[in-house]
Structures are given as C-alpha cells and as structure tokens.
Structure 1
Amino acid sequence: MPENLWMRPERPSRGPQPSFSRAALTEAAIRVADAEGLEAISMRRLAAEIGAGTMSLYRYVSGKDDVIELMVDAVVADYLPEGTALSGDWRADLGAMARQARRTVLRHPWLAPLAASRQGASPNRLRLLEASLRMVDGLGLGVDEMLTLIGAVFAYVNGFVQSELAEAEALRRTGLDLKGWTALQAPFMMAAIASGDFPMVARMATEGGRAYADIEERFEYGLERLLNGLATDLPRSAG
C-alpha cells in the first residue's frame, strides 16, 4: 500500500542531499498553476523552474500526484489565516471561513475541482478540520452532525466558486458578460414563454433580477440563508 506523503521524510537518509526543499518545489508548482493551470505542471517543468535536474525531484516526491498534494495543503492554509482567533459565534466564524475560502480559491482557480474531490490527511487540512470543528463545538451536536454542518458550508462555497470561475471562463472565451449572454438567449426564451408552456419561467423573466446583482451580494445572500437554515436545526439549548 502506498505510504502517505506526510509520513515520508522530506530528505532521503542516504545519498547526496538535494539543494532545494519541498517548500521551494511547492511554491514553484503553485506559481505555474496560478498562471497556466494545473495541466502545465510536469516534473520537467518544475525542475526548470527551480533550476534542478528532473530526476533530482524524485528524491522529494514520487511524482505529480505528490506535487498536487503539496500544493493543495499549502493553499488550504490560507482558509484560516494564522493568528485569526475564533470569536465564539459559530455563524460569524463559519461565515468568515467561507469568505476566506472563496477568496483563496479565486486566487488559485486550479484548486476548485480538487477541493470537491476526496481529501487526504495533511498538516494544513487537519488544522482546518480542527478549527472548523471548534467553531461548532458546544452547539449540542454529535461529531457526525458537526461534520455535516461544516460540509454544507464548504459545499456551498465550492459550488458557488466553481460557477463563478465558469462564468469568468465563458466571458474570456466568448467576450460576453452575463447580460450579453442573456440577451443572446432572449429571442428563444421569449418564444418559449409566449407558448404558455412555461409559466414559472415567465414569472422568472418578469420578477427575477438577483442574477444580475453584484457577485459579492449574491454570495452573501446565499451564505446568510444557508446559515439561517442550519441554525433552525440546532438543539434549543444552542440558541
């Protein structure tokens, strides 16, 4: 069975010691992925970035999968900036974490699909998990319920940000913003509404508008309602 990356020593005990570190390798990988996407990551490219031989990288990691693990762990640290103390108000703390997580993923778009995938144990993920559980400790919930509550917040953030990034990519690819794209769909939509077969769509067209709201407002609107909903299911003793 493969061994967890974090259980392996960073530097081999035998042979010549490499002249760089996992941290330097991780920084280079994040820099490349931020600029060009995850697909630009290769052992050859990273070796060139840090001025090392390609084979020397394998003294630190077993391959690209290990590099991605290092990248995710490093970036996840930004979900909870060092020195940020919990307020004791679970809604305020979870809300602050959600906002910080969104900002982090927007800075590192390659993280979005990875954040929704299976998460391995790593130092900063464990710190994030520990802090998240502390946010909702004392609410009268069992651990499984606490994990479900936290997971709901992260699921909202991940879903919102992936849509946000997809919209930005569509703008880059087509040159159309949301209003321009909607205008392009308008003739077909109006014909469909005129048929009378889509009364709720017709109502959306006449009464809607939040889709055009500022992106920050949309995020806060959804986050507030999610937290409100979670609060209704707490034990009465939690207030």
Structure 2
Amino acid sequence: MTEYSSGDPHRTLELLWGEPTRPSRGPRPALTLAAVARAAIEIADADGLGALSMRAVAERLGFTTMSIYRYVPGKAELLDVMVDTVNAESPVLEHVEGGWRAKMEVCAREEWALFHRHPWVLHLAWHRPVLGPNSVTSYESALAALSGIGLSDKEMVAVFNTLYGYVRGAARTSVDARLAERHTGLSEDEWWSSREQFWQHLADPERFPTMNRLRSSGAFDVVEMDFEFGLARVLDGLEALISKRSLGAEPKDDAR
C-alpha cells in the first residue's frame, strides 16, 4: 500500500532546510532531529513502516514520546525527513567519469541498492517528492548529467522519469520476492516446486504451448528479475533517442 505525505508542507520544509534549533522550553536537549530520523530509519529498515510510530522511535532512543514531538510534529513529517536522510546516500554524478550513459548507469545501480537497503521507501509516493536538500541535490545531479546532449528540457525530465520508474518498479518486484520468502519461509524455488501439480495436470500443452516450451527450455529458471538486462534495454532505448537528436532531429517540448 502506498503512503502519501499528509504532513504540514511548510513545517516539513522548515525541518529539512532550516537551521537545527533547540526546544525553547524544558531541560537541555540530548536529542537532535538527525538522531530521531536515524532511529526511525533503523526501525523501518528492520520491520517496515507498519512498525514505525512516534512511540517506537522514543522507546528506541530511551526517551518519552513527548520528547520526540519536540523535534518533529508527527509521523508524516518524520517520514519526509527519513526519505531525505537516506537520499544522502545517492551518488553525486559530477564525480562519475564518462558520458550521460555511464552516469545514468551509476545512478540506476545506486538507487537499486538504496531501495534494497531501505525497502520501505518503495511504499511512499514518489511523484510528490520530498523537497529536502539531499533529495534536490540528487535530482539536480541527475538532470545535469542529461544536459547538453540534445534533449529538450521536457525530454530531460522524461528520460530521468523513465529510468527511475524502471529502477523503482524492478526493485519493488525484487524486494517483494525477498519479503515473501521471509514471511512464508519458502524460497522461490521451493514455492514453485510445491506447485508442480499445476504443470503436471493443469497447464495443458495444447492450450499453453508457449509456456510449456519455455519451461522445458529452462527459461523460467531465473528466480529473480534480471535487473541489469532491463537496465541495458532501457538505456538502449534512451540512447536511440539521443542519437536521433544528434543527427539533427528537432526535439519537441510538447512530446509525451
């Protein structure tokens, strides 16, 4: 289930971009917003968003729940801070050698790894991004890597969204497979082996000839989605567009 941010956007931006401030009342604080965010991330990494609450964060840090509210007004704003915190792990592509494709390959692989380190991020809406400093820096870096290669401004955004959408979708499939194994106690191989009856009695070769042929050839033996295969095909398609631009085809800013 996808979660949408419902926090106060102005308060969130203040938290993400403002100078860290000490609570004006009470004893000298022993916490920071960064420490609260890190504790929340550790909970979500280990047990998912369902285990995350202000109380759980407080217990992990050894403070009262009200102490946490002195640093962040609620869970919605906390999630925004968490996302921007993990986005600090995204690469700065200016330091990556090579052209746009080499930079996008690094970007894609690093995001794939980030999603596996923090799978809860996949359950948060990405089309309404967290506009924090780490998130914006990462996005700026990616767009800069696509600048000056013949794409129109709208095509630059569309190219990034196409690549990011593939990585996110592939990561969601991969993470879901791992979570299924954890929750059921069955590996993918074991799960499919337990359904051998389907192939023996239900998958009629005359009705499903292609599937039966692929099974016989071992085509279905790949347990996990081949991320690198899909990444190469996406980049091949984007490269074809960029090559077309380099040959003089005019970009269309109203293209979908």
What TM-score do the two structures reach when normalised by structure 1?
A: 0.87
Alignment RMSD: 2.5
Q: CA deviation at 1:146?
A: 0.9
Aligned to 2:14: 7
Give me the whole-angstrom Cα distance separating, in 2, the residues matched to 1:39 and 1:145: 37
Counterpart of 2:250 in structure 1 is none
Question: Which residue is 1:102 aligned to?
Answer: 112
Instruction: State the partner residue of 1:218.
Output: 226
Q: Please point out which of 120, 137, 160 is paired with 1:127.
A: 137
Distance 2:45 2:107 in 1: 22
More helix by share: 1
Question: Does the C-alpha gap of structure 1 residues 233 and 191 become closer, same or farther in structure 2, counting only changes over 3 Å?
Answer: farther
State the distance in 2 between where 1:2 and 1:221 align. 39
SS in 2 for 1:194: coil
**Aligned pair in 2 of structure 1 residues 4, 153: CA closer, same or farther (>3 Å)?**
farther
Q: Distance in 2 between matches of 1:145 and 1:213?
A: 34
Question: Matched residues, percent identical?
Answer: 32
After TM superposition, give the deviation of residue 22 of structure 1 in Å. Answer: 0.6
| DSSP-derived class of the 1:3 partner | helix
Cα distance, 1:219 vs structure 2? 1.3
SS at match of 1:29: helix
Superposed displacement of residue 40, structure 1: 1.6
**SS of match in other structure, 2:195:** helix
Aligned counterparts, 1:85-164, within 5 A? 85-114=95-124, 116=126, 118-164=128-174
SS in 2 for 1:110: helix
Map 1:59-98 onto structure 2 (within 5 A).
Answer: 59-80=70-91, 85-98=95-108
Deviations 1:81-112 (A, max 9, x none): x6970324111111111111111111112122
- C-alpha distance in 2 between matches for 1:14 and 1:169: 43
Residue number in structure 2 paired with 1:188: 198
State whether residues 44 and 51 of structure 2, in contact with CA within 8 Å, keep that contact through their aligned partners in structure 1: yes
**Amino acid of the residue matched to residue 135 of structure 1?**
A
TM-score normalized by structure 2?
Answer: 0.81
Judge conservation of contact 1:160–1:219 (CA < 8 Å) in 2: yes
The one-letter amino acid paired with 2:84 is D
* Mapped partners of 1:196, 1:53: distance in 2: 66
**Count of aligned positions:** 236
Gaps of at least 5 residues in structure 1 are: none
1:69 Cα deviation after fit: 0.8
CA distance in 1: counterparts of 2:182 and 2:57, whole angstroms: 27
Encode CA deviations 1:39-65: one digit per residue, 9 max, x unaligned: 222112212222333222222211011
The one-letter amino acid of 1:43's match is M
Q: What residue ranges of structure 2 are gaps of 5+ in the alignment? A: 1-7, 248-256
CA contact (8 A) 1:29 1:71 kept: yes
Letter in 1 for 2:58: A
Q: Residue type of the partner of 1:6?
A: L
Matching residue's letter, 1:40: A
